[in-house]
Chain A
Amino acid sequence: MNALAARRRHPAAIAVLLVLGLFLTGAVYAAVPPTRADATTKALPAQTAEEGRALFRANCASCHGLNAEGRPTGNGDNIAGPALAGVGAASVDFQMGTGRMPMAAPGVQAPAAGAGEVKFSDADIEAIGAYIASLAPGPAVPSDEAVDPTKGDAAAGGELFRVNCAMCHNFAGAGGALTRGKYAPAISSTISDKHIYEAMETGPQSMPVFGDNNLTPESTRDIVAFLDTIDAAESPGGMTLGSLGPVTEGLFAWVFGLGLLVGCAVWLGSKAA
């Protein structure tokens, strides 16, 4: 106890206490995470465009309008939800299949839902897609063959990715910031090949459209193949530090590299006895 009392006044004591406190808080939070409220009504499976329309009216119409014509918020030029004629079944499959729609709350970004948090069954999404596709022609959900990465050329896809995608989504697909709080999400291995393909076809949210007239279906498949390749690639350097390039790498070098040098300098300058 005497030794503890003597160390209490050590200048590092406050820092050590702070770190201990933070760790404790983090550990408690990790052990007892707050539970999410779940207020979704589970809809019955539906197959046809007619049933899709009923599902749409029940779940989407409050923002997109009863007939998917879009709705203004009444606040300036802001819209609650855009008109959906012509966006196609691919757009519905992407937005609802990744859990971006229905949005939990209006905001600048529609974040994807985590694994297992998608509110609608595949059959429901297909039905709503059939309804939206019946309004006006638009991109359809791609076939399995169209998104098969084994049929794509990853090298060509890499070149296309660096020209068309990397400026927003980062050279390694790690994502990046856009204007005013929006961001380009990371394209990680958790996103299915089909959804990547659909995003390029339909241009969700801030993303521009890379339709078949811009990137041919083969080129789009090449990009999917490239993204699969970088997911599978092992990192020879160990920790990727988020693949963010010089920012995180520089921070690491400054904190740990320089810290090590400072520690050595202090040791060199201290007295042996």
Chain B
Amino acid sequence: MNEHDTPATGSEVTPTSGPGAPVRLDQGHVVGEGGVPERFTNPGLPPHTPRMADLGEDAAKRAEKQVATLFGISMLGTVLFIVLYFAIDVEQTVFIPGIGLTSASNFALGVTLAMGMLGIGFGAVHWAKTLMPDEEIVESRHPMRSSQEAREGFVGTLSEGGSDAQLGRRPLIKYTLGGALGLFAVPLVVQVAGSLGPMPQKSLSLTFWNGGPSGPGEEPEFVPLRLVRDPENTPIKASDVTIGSVFHVLPEGLLDLEVHRLEEKAKAAVLLMRLDPDIIESQKELDWGYQGIVAYSKICTHVGCPVGLYEQQTHHLLCPCHQSTFDVTQDCKVIFGPAKRPLPQLAITVDDEGYLVSTQPFREAIGPSFWERGL
């Protein structure tokens, strides 16, 4: 950084003392004296400092060897990569200090590939820094506009061609050509828009609990569905659900679906808990549950993460994504976090055999807000 200490040539702001003297950065705060010049002129380039390799042939030779070594490391790394790719078993592990037990193949291939690539890169940069010319050069920018004659000549050629083709005289050709070209763009747009898939229609408001598959265009007829365990796919007896336990529940039949199983699962997942009925504060929650067994949608009303973290002592349901917290004793009211609506409750009862079944589908759309939901 020596060149910064010598004043640049051709400058108005270079007195070494008095107003306007350059202030060294390591002098701390210096109060200015108001000696600002009218305008700053271009200080020009700092004086060129020759490098070691410019001055001595020995240094240049040394730099040459260094660059060649770096390129040599690259070659070595690449050859090693090819050898180790075949030599090391993929399953083999090795202990590397600082990294721990890791895959030997991953580590060896990573290191040799880094040698191969960084060797070229570092070699090229070192070459440029030590041996390639480093004289600063100023190149002026030239106007890019063509000369007036050339521009007029081009316009003349173009309009001459147009009139030779009788474009002006035969407008029918002009308009039909325009129409043909314009229409030709439509198939492209249709393909792109068409491949976005069908509109969601009512599928965002329906779930499998409505009685069956609820994809776009499907409007299932309601039938009571048994609550089954996920992933075992076994129905749940009310007597199985003890106080403090939590079941991850799906509607019966969902896991047997051949197509769109994950889409349905993402809407129909339900969390089943049993609380002491005395601590439930909402009458609607009690009515839609069965002896303190309550079922709530597991899909967060904020952005649709699965709300699965149930604390059995505080009866809080926590969403792991953004910490929205729902109080199960208060009909899953939001007590913390960004969610705006309580989790929708699924009304349940028991059937003749004692298994839990739904009595109605969700009464509102589950999950986060969407355009047509209106909320």
Q: Does A272 lie within 8 Å of B231, measured CB to CB?
A: no
Q: Does A236 lie within 8 Å of B312, measured CB to CB?
A: no
Q: A168-B308, A178-B318, A273-B52 are in contact. Are A214 and B106 (CB under 8 A)?
A: no
B99, B316, B320: the one within 8 Å of A239 (CB): B99
Q: Does A179 lie within 8 Å of B318, measured CB to CB?
A: yes
Closest chain A residue, CB of each to CB of B98: A239
Q: A159-B231, A234-B101, A238-B102 are in contact. Are A164 and B248 (CB under 8 A)?
A: yes
CB neighbours of B306 from chain A (8 A)? 167
* Interface positions of B from 94 to 152, Cβ below 8 Å from A: 96, 99-103, 106-107, 125, 129-130, 134
CB neighbours of B101 from chain A (8 A)? 234-235, 238
Check if B372 is an interface residue, CB within 8 A of chain A: no
Which of A26-34, A68-76, A92-100, A203-211 contacts its partner? A203-211
* Interface positions of A from 236 to 273, Cβ below 8 Å from B: 236-240, 267-268, 271-273
How far is A235 from B101 in the complex, measured between Cα atoms in Å? Answer: 7
Q: Does B244 lie within 8 Å of A209, measured CB to CB?
A: yes
Q: Does A168 lie within 8 Å of B134, measured CB to CB?
A: no
Q: A9-B26, A214-B240, A273-B50 are in contact. Are A207 and B99 (CB under 8 A)?
A: no
Residue among B50, B306, B311 with the highest chain A CB neighbour number at 10 A: B311
Check if A219 is an interface residue, CB within 8 A of chain B: yes
* Interface positions of A from 207 to 224, Cβ below 8 Å from B: 207-211, 213-214, 219
Closest chain A residue, CB of each to CB of B134: A272
CB neighbours of B129 from chain A (8 A)? 272
Check if A57 is an interface residue, CB within 8 A of chain B: no
A178, A235, A272: the one within 8 Å of B51 (CB): A272
Check if B195 is an interface residue, CB within 8 A of chain A: no
Closest chain A residue, CB of each to CB of B336: A179
Check if B288 is an interface residue, CB within 8 A of chain A: no
Q: Does B100 lie within 8 Å of A208, measured CB to CB?
A: no
Check if A160 is an interface residue, CB within 8 A of chain B: yes
Q: A178-B309, A213-B240, A213-B241 are in contact. Are A208 and B273 (CB under 8 A)?
A: yes
CB neighbours of B51 from chain A (8 A)? 272-273
A231 CB, min distance to chain B CBs, angstroms? 13
Check if B81 is an interface residue, CB within 8 A of chain A: no
Check if B349 is an interface residue, CB within 8 A of chain A: no
Q: Does B102 lie within 8 Å of A235, measured CB to CB?
A: yes
Interface string of A175-213 (1 = CB under 8 A from B): 010111010100000000000000000010111111101
Closest chain A residue, CB of each to CB of B320: A167
CB neighbours of B240 from chain A (8 A)? 213-214
A163, A205, A219: the one within 8 Å of B230 (CB): A163
Q: Does A207 lie within 8 Å of B312, measured CB to CB?
A: yes
* Interface positions of B from 29 to 46, Cβ below 8 Å from A: none
In the complex, besides A163-B231, A238-B100, 6 extra interface pairs with C-beta distance below 8 angstroms are: A178-B311, A205-B313, A207-B312, A209-B312, A210-B246, A239-B100
Leading 4 A-B pairs by shortest Cβ distance: A167-B308, A238-B102, A213-B240, A272-B129
Chain B residues within CB distance 8 Å of chain A: 26, 49-52, 93, 96, 99-103, 106-107, 125, 129-130, 134, 229-232, 237, 239-242, 244-248, 273, 306, 308-314, 316, 318, 320, 323, 325, 336
A-B contact pairs, 6 of them (CB 8 A): A178-B318, A213-B237, A235-B102, A237-B102, A238-B101, A238-B103
